[in-house]
Amino acid sequence: MVENRKYMGQFFMPLMVAVAYLFLYLPIFVLVLFSFNNANCSVAWAGFSLKWYQKLVSSPEILDALQASLIVALSTTFLSLLIGTCFIVASRWGGRSSLFSNVFYVNILLPEIVLAIGILSIFTFFQLPLGYGSLIAGHTLLGLGFVIPIVRARFCELDPVLTEASLDMGATYWQTFLHVLIPLLMPSLLASGLLVFTLSMDDFLISFFCSGPTVQTLSVYVYSMIRTGVDPMINAISTCFLVISSLLVFLLCSLKVVDQVLGHD
Amino acid sequence: MSMKAFRKIFADELSFVFSCPAILWQSVFLYVPFLLLVGYSITDFNETTGTWFLTLAYYKQIFASLYIQIIFRSFFLAALTAAICFAIAYPVAYFLALKVPKRFKTILLFTLIFPSWTSLIVQVYAWFFLLEQNGIISTVLRFFHLISPTQHLLNNYFTIVVGMVSCFLPFMILPIYAVLEKMEKHYLESSADLGANRFETFRRVIFPMSLPGVYAGVMLVFIPSFGEFAIPTLLGGAKYIFWGSAIVDKFLRSRDWRLGSALVIVGIMLPVLLTAIVYAFKKIRIYLVTRKSKQYADYLSTHKELWG
């Protein structure tokens, strides 16, 4: 029994951790490695080169796709933060129960393809052209599902005395919102903003359905490239994706520390 | 009316106005489209008389044909993915939460979660690149004559499952880890003090307490893998049709919107049903536990003479 126990603790579980790491990182490692390969080959190493990255920067299609992705991601982040914060603050101050905000969990819980089909069908039904509008509509729908729970959690932690004091001392609701609430909510706003930005940049399904013939986001472009086969240029784009998202995660993690510090104060 | 009362009413109205955009957005882009889909799926247009009529023919078509098989195939794939993720994630989360020294926890957790932060397409492409005909694994296996020169590693069911598990594994690890990490370690000590061995402690203390995390993890893995489109298409080729790919085909290629809408609605019902079942399980467990404790309390109160 004692041997068995030791076997579980010292051998089995570290092994599972190793399996998980191998599973998650082996493909990514190979992918990044071969983005620096000098030849168009996925086995043989032909020396270090940055030529795929050069090709990437000089390709107008990729730059267009990047621009479209950035436009969509930035407007999505802005809109979902604005709408979400307004909703939380207004419904808490208005004294209505926050029951309504549970409604937004649906956006995360439903399979994403359903949201995509919904956006596609309503835009087609009213004969609106697909493009930036439908992309932003869909991504914001998804973003609200993340912004509202995160900001609400922070709002519920806040001491109501702070806003009451501000109102008692003669500040208007607007001033209280701007000078008291927003700074207090800032960690959660930054965290959820980063989250929504990453989600929107990475999103594939909604972009695939709603981008229409004129606009192409980066992930849809990569998807259509993969359909034609392996190309080291996709490795290079993927590496850029990885670098950017690791930077964003790093930012988010350091913000979490900020959040904890503020929460303990 | 005093100024203060006016301001109060004004603030109430204003707060209502400001909470509207979110609700409106939600309604216009989620609920109205959903009703639209329901409408599409139950109506049809008679071209000879030029009138609209209600029909359940599309639902009948789904239940009578391959489509219901496709939905069950997706359901099975999602369940399989969730089960494998659970089998890998539970030991990992357990190890991370209870065995690893505190200073390593953050970095380990961070590195495990990180891949899910990057685009799903990138993750799928990474597997695609690794497993393709001229990829590293194929070449190595061919070198050792483990596969024949014409054999592909892509385009089979196994590859789809591998891709699914690696993409959704972090969503299972995180909630289980969160629950295990928050658990009071005194419970383990008390369990040991009361004579339970480690296995009993795990079975009767740790595992039941981690169940909320497991439920959350299963939902977080099952639902996206049920509706997944990119992974089966890129790693499985055109050989396997799942719910997601069937929807894409109906809406974007064959433009058969009415059948597609019915397909979407029948497909949604499964996760909804699953959520209801999980919810019911929770309720039943709570009911059983409270009944047990109530019985115990009743027993104590009726046998007061036993303990004075």
pLDDT of amino acid A262: 43
Gap between the Cα atoms of A41 and A43, Å rounded: 6
In three-state form (DSSP H/G/I as H, E/B as E, the rest C), the secondary structure along A82-140 is HHHHHHHHHHHHCCCCHHHHHHHHHHHHCCHHHHHHHHHHHHHHCCCCCCHHHHHHHHH
Which of B7, B122, B272 should one mutate to test binding to chain A, selecting the residue with the greatest count of A CBs within 10 A?
B122
Span B100-150, pLDDT tens digits: 888 888 888 888 888 888 888 999 999 988 888 777 788 888 888 777 777
pLDDT of amino acid A144: 92
- Weakest-pLDDT range from A80-89, A127-136, B85-94, B151-160: B151-160
Span B103-117, pLDDT tens digits: 888 888 888 888 888
The more confident residue out of B152 and B66 is B66
Which of B17, B19, B112, B158 should one mutate to test binding to chain A, selecting the residue with the greatest count of A CBs within 10 A?
B19
Task: Label residue A3 by pLDDT band (50, 70, 90).
Answer: low
Distance from CA of A106 to the nearest CA of B (A): 9
Which among B106, B128, B139 is the nearest to A43, CB-wise?
B139
Cβ within 8 Å, pair B227-A94: no
Homologous superfamily of A53-264 in CATH? Answer: MetI-like (1.10.3720.10)
- Judged by CB atoms within 8 Å, which residues 140-169 of A form the interface with B? 140-141, 144, 148
pLDDT of amino acid A140: 94
Cβ within 8 Å, pair B126-A110: no
Q: Is A213 on the interface with B (CB under 8 A)?
A: no
Gap between the Cα atoms of B33 and A118, Å rounded: 5
Sign of CA dihedral B96, B101, B104, B106: positive
Q: Is A18 on the interface with B (CB under 8 A)?
A: no
| Mean predicted confidence (pLDDT) in B73-93 | 93
pLDDT of amino acid A265: 34
Span A94-129, pLDDT tens digits: 666 556 667 888 888 888 999 999 999 999 999 888
Would you say how long chain A is, in residues? 265
Q: Which amino acid is at A17?
A: V
* For residue A240, pLDDT beyond 70: yes
pLDDT of amino acid B186: 85
Cβ within 8 Å, pair A31-B136: no
pLDDT of amino acid B50: 76
pLDDT of amino acid A45: 76
DSSP single-letter state for residue B46? E
| Mean predicted confidence (pLDDT) in B240-256 | 89
Nearest-by-CA chain A residue for B13: A94
pLDDT of amino acid A91: 78
Tokens 């900020």: give the residue: A258
Span A40-54, pLDDT tens digits: 766 777 778 888 888
What is the value of pTM for the model shown? 0.84
pLDDT of amino acid B136: 79
Mean pLDDT of chain B: 84
pLDDT of amino acid A264: 38
Cβ within 8 Å, pair B117-A245: yes
Q: Is A5 on the interface with B (CB under 8 A)?
A: yes
pLDDT of amino acid A150: 86
Backbone angles phi and psi of A214, in degrees to 5? -95, -35
Task: Label residue A5 by pLDDT band (50, 70, 90).
Answer: low
pLDDT of amino acid A51: 84
* For residue A133, pLDDT beyond 80: yes
Distance from CA of A1 to the nearest CA of B (A): 10
* For residue B202, pLDDT beyond 60: yes
- Which of B217, B91, B229 has its CA nearest to residue B163? B229
| Mean predicted confidence (pLDDT) in B249-255 | 88
Backbone angles phi and psi of B183, in degrees to 5? -60, 140
Span A62-81, pLDDT tens digits: 899 999 999 999 999 999 99
Q: Is A242 on the interface with B (CB under 8 A)?
A: yes
Other beta carbons within 10 angstroms of residue A132's beta carbon come to: 17
Distance from CA of B206 to the nearest CA of A (A): 15
CATH class of B57-294: mainly alpha
Distance from CA of B263 to the nearest CA of A (A): 11
Decide: residue A95, CB within 10 A, 0-12 exposed, 13-18 middle, 19+ buried.
exposed
Tokens (6 digits) for A260: 């904890």
pLDDT of amino acid B8: 67
| Domain chopping of chain B, boundaries | 57-294
Tokens (6 digits) for A189: 């706003």
Cβ within 8 Å, pair B91-A17: yes
ipTM reported for the complex, 2 dp: 0.85
Which among B11, B108, B128 is the nearest to A173, CB-wise?
B11
